[in-house]
Amino acid sequence: MATPTLNHTRLPTDWYWLAPMLVGGVLIALIWKRLKLPNPWIFGPMALCALVTACFDLHTALPIELSNYGQLMIGCTLGGFFDRKFFSRPQSF
């Protein structure tokens, strides 16, 4: 019986594509926000990155540090929505 092995190699960071997508993501988010569309800082850049990646068949990754920073900012944003009263009242699920 063959044992499965997990050999995951991280894709390289291609700043030729990544830098314009980061700048474009900010611009798209601002436009998305001005149009009063939902979640502009998530859906705007995600739509741009999906479109560019699909059109140009990109195979690149964010640097680990930038990915970690993004996760931290998502956590801070989610944490900002909850106040002390939310945690003190009983929840009904």
pLDDT at residue 44 greater than cutoff 80: yes
pLDDT at residue 52 greater than cutoff 90: yes
pLDDT score of 1: 65
pLDDT score of 93: 62
Q: Judge contact between 44 and 29, C-beta under 8 A.
A: yes
Q: What distance separates the 2 farthest-apart alpha carbons in the chain?
A: 58
Q: Average pLDDT in the 15-34 region?
A: 95
In which band, very low, low, confident or very high, does the pLDDT at 90 lie, cut at 50, 70 and 90?
A: confident
